[in-house]
Structure 1
Amino acid sequence: MVEKQPVANASAIAAKKRLSAQFFRKGIIIALLSGVTYGFYSAFLTLGMTKGVWGDWFGPNTAGLSPFIITFVLAAIGSAVNDTLSAIWAMFFAAVKGKFVDFLRCLNTTPGRVMVLAALIGGPISSTAYVVGLQKAGSIVIPITALCPAIGAILGRILFKQELNKRMMLGIVICVIASFMIGSTSVGGDAPEGALLGVCIAFVAALGWGFEGCVAGYGTSMIDSEIGITIRQITSGLSNLIILLPIFGMIAGDVKLSTHLAFEAFTSGSAMIWFVVSGFFAYISYMFWYRGNSMCGAALGMACNGTFSFWGPFCCWIVLGVFCGIDGWSLPIIAWIAAVLMVIGILIISMNPMDLFRKKEDK
């Protein structure tokens, strides 16, 4: 019996390695799917904002709305509708899985309050800036917003004294070069009107999401990811409706008008169908992101999620350009090259690419 023990131990270790390898690979797949589903969220959100009452608002006559309302108030409403429906999806799945009571309990804890803070940064600020960018410049803004891991790495160094080594700095430089390549498509005679403004506002979204990632990393390390996402989406939807939208209404000089527009948006059936779909994909994207991070590591998970810099424009092109026949969703070659370059930069920031081969050899 004593002689057979080392053999048994070796078999157990080998079995454990196989299970770990399978778990790791599954985490990578889930994290990659978070990037794909984020692309579909972007596409269906944009599609929703072309249907029903949105078609009148963004139509040739703009329904008599001012440029400020069209650019900022409608973007805040679009973000609020999507995030509110995403929150409903999150509460539904939390209830189905028996986690709704845990969600209520976590609201009054330190990690829960951290998630609320993260959502206040990423919701009313970044999500609205993202929608403004999409409306103004189209899908070229998606790789710009993918700068958030690079910004998060810089902010992590400044705020939390986290490591920022030469490899990470190289990845940041690659991401910045890619963003300039994309930005170059927003100037010139072929660029749509307002594209440069859209690209600039997309940087605001990247900054907010980078900061949100720094803050939310603490919260999600201490609470269940599904509960954390539920807190995040509810806070984002409500803060858009009760904080940002009234502020924009006051700036526009008519709070009642912004409230009226929000009511019309929520009751526009032909548009809400697509917002329900975009809210679902937004929830799934965040869910896959958090779950993938926990399975393959936050660094690799962030890199896999960062592939939305490619999948975002691709999904918008497929859904809006190919299937719906809406003009203006094809991208120049330089934008596709820059999107792939952005993915490479994010991978280099998040981890040493050589570790992928080392892990494979160890297994």
Structure 2
Amino acid sequence: MSTVANASAIAAKKKLSSQFFRKGIAIALFSAVMYGFYSAFLTLGMTKGVWADWYGENTSGLSPFVITFVLGAVGSAVNDTCSAIWAMLYAGVKGKFGDFLRCLNTTPGRVMILAALIGGPVSSTAYVIGLQMAGSIVIPITALCPAIGAVLGRVLFKQELNKRMMLGIAICVIASFMIGSTSISGDAQEGAFLGVCIAFIAALGWGFEGCVAGYGTSMIDSEIGITIRQATSGISNLIILLPIFGMMAGNVGLSTNLALKAFTSGPAMIWFAASGLCAFVSYMFWYRGNSMCGAALGMACNGTFSFWGPFCCWIVLGVFCGISGWSIPLIAWVAAVLMVFGILVIAMNPLDLLRKKEEE
């Protein structure tokens, strides 16, 4: 009887573990979908209200530098601020806002702040600028961040970088070149190649952020870590990056004036609130999925945003809103799927998934 009971208990434990693992995969995949909608709603917000005047034929006397870079930084700042508000509201509802404040002055909290300073002002702004200049083809480029993170992890922390991981990195690089080739074709929009190059900056920053944040989230609650990350990103965009771009444009007060107009533009803020919510949910589910199915597989599942990003932008902007320029060349779709496979190879041996299924 004891043997039968033990066998039943082991079988039940395996079933629960399997269900927990599969739920983790589903959550990590959903984080990628939410990232796609974050990209779509952010871009949509930057076509409404005062943004329509800034990017329209009547540019209100703004210089090309301001239109390209300062407005991109403003869009990133507005989105990250909205995302931070959603994160703090969620922390308050969960009764963790006090923990969030206490963790700010701890070692893992400071690590998360450092990660946010890299991924927020630098990568998020580069991502928004790339989206505005080249469209959704930059999204698979930014999905190179796991590959870059693997290389940086080897250089900075002496982490393993075996032949399988190098193969995955090579696949990702090939896919990025395929996507980059679409930006220099005759059908590409003006400035697409520069937009793709700027997207590489976002991938580099997020890859470095992933290395740093991995240490921080291993020591504190992931939900608190996300709140620290989003709050730091929003604040640093507003008080650090925007003034710097303002000085580069020759008028420090210009960036502040543009930010105030952006925050008070009702038709646009509706969509920025939606993009901020999607960004927060994406990050939160990414961390949660990683804790349930493992960081490697969670990273690979989240990397499917290289497909979901262009798809959501095409659906929201191209199909429902009828905005031209959001159709994706066939080669970019193929490259996006190839990028997903490359990320999976970096994260784990794909054959392990088949072995796990056989064991069940």
* Partner in structure 2 of residue 308 of structure 1: 305
CA RMSD of aligned residues (A): 0.5
Counterparts of 2:343 and 2:85 in 1: how far apart (Å)?
A: 31
Which deviations, in whole Å up to 9, do the C-alpha atoms of 1:40-59 show, x marking residues without a partner? 00000000000000000000
* Partner in structure 1 of residue 183 of structure 2: 186
TM-score (norm 1): 0.99
Give the 5 Å matches for 1:270-281: 270-281=267-278
* Partner in structure 1 of residue 151 of structure 2: 154
Counterparts of 1:176 and 1:70 in 2: how far apart (Å)?
A: 30
* Partner in structure 1 of residue 223 of structure 2: 226
Counterparts of 1:141 and 1:231 in 2: how far apart (Å)?
A: 27
SS at the partner of 1:63?
A: coil
> How far apart are residue 240 of structure 1 and its match?
0.3
* Partner in structure 2 of residue 360 of structure 1: 357
Which deviations, in whole Å up to 9, do the C-alpha atoms of 1:34-87 show, x marking residues without a partner? 100000000000000000000000001211100111111111110000000000
> How far apart are residue 30 of structure 1 and its match?
0.1
2:69 partner amino acid: F
Counterparts of 1:318 and 1:353 in 2: how far apart (Å)?
A: 30
* Partner in structure 1 of residue 192 of structure 2: 195
2:152 partner amino acid: L
SS at the partner of 2:327?
A: coil
2:183 maps to 1:167:
no
* Partner in structure 1 of residue 237 of structure 2: 240
2:334 maps to 1:337:
yes
* Partner in structure 2 of residue 326 of structure 1: 323
Which deviations, in whole Å up to 9, do the C-alpha atoms of 1:155-199 show, x marking residues without a partner? 000000000000000000000000000000000321100000000
SS at the partner of 1:64?
A: coil
- Which of residues 34, 38, 47 in structure 2 aligns to 1:37? 34
2:120 maps to 1:123:
yes
* Partner in structure 2 of residue 93 of structure 1: 90
2:53 partner amino acid: D
* Partner in structure 2 of residue 177 of structure 1: 174
Unaligned runs of 5+ in 1: none
- Which of residues 10, 24, 27 in structure 2 aligns to 1:27? 24
* Partner in structure 2 of residue 65 of structure 1: 62
> How far apart are residue 6 of structure 1 and its match?
1.3
Identity %: 84
* Partner in structure 2 of residue 297 of structure 1: 294
Counterparts of 1:259 and 1:25 in 2: how far apart (Å)?
A: 46
1:346 partner amino acid: I
> How far apart are residue 360 of structure 1 and its match?
1.2
Counterparts of 2:156 and 2:12 in 1: how far apart (Å)?
A: 42
Which deviations, in whole Å up to 9, do the C-alpha atoms of 1:75-101 show, x marking residues without a partner? 111000000000000001110010111
2:250 maps to 1:283:
no
> How far apart are residue 7 of structure 1 and its match?
1.2
2:102 partner amino acid: R
Which deviations, in whole Å up to 9, do the C-alpha atoms of 1:267-292 show, x marking residues without a partner? 00000000000000000000110000
Counterparts of 1:30 and 1:173 in 2: how far apart (Å)?
A: 27
Counterparts of 1:119 and 1:358 in 2: how far apart (Å)?
A: 37
Which deviations, in whole Å up to 9, do the C-alpha atoms of 1:213-234 show, x marking residues without a partner? 0000001111111100000000
* Partner in structure 2 of residue 56 of structure 1: 53
* Partner in structure 1 of residue 261 of structure 2: 264
TM-score (norm 2): 0.99
* Partner in structure 1 of residue 103 of structure 2: 106
SS at the partner of 1:102?
A: helix
Equivalences, count = 360
* Partner in structure 1 of residue 213 of structure 2: 216
Counterparts of 1:18 and 1:322 in 2: how far apart (Å)?
A: 42
> How far apart are residue 362 of structure 1 and its match?
1.8
SS at the partner of 1:217?
A: helix
SS at the partner of 1:62?
A: coil
2:71 maps to 1:74:
yes
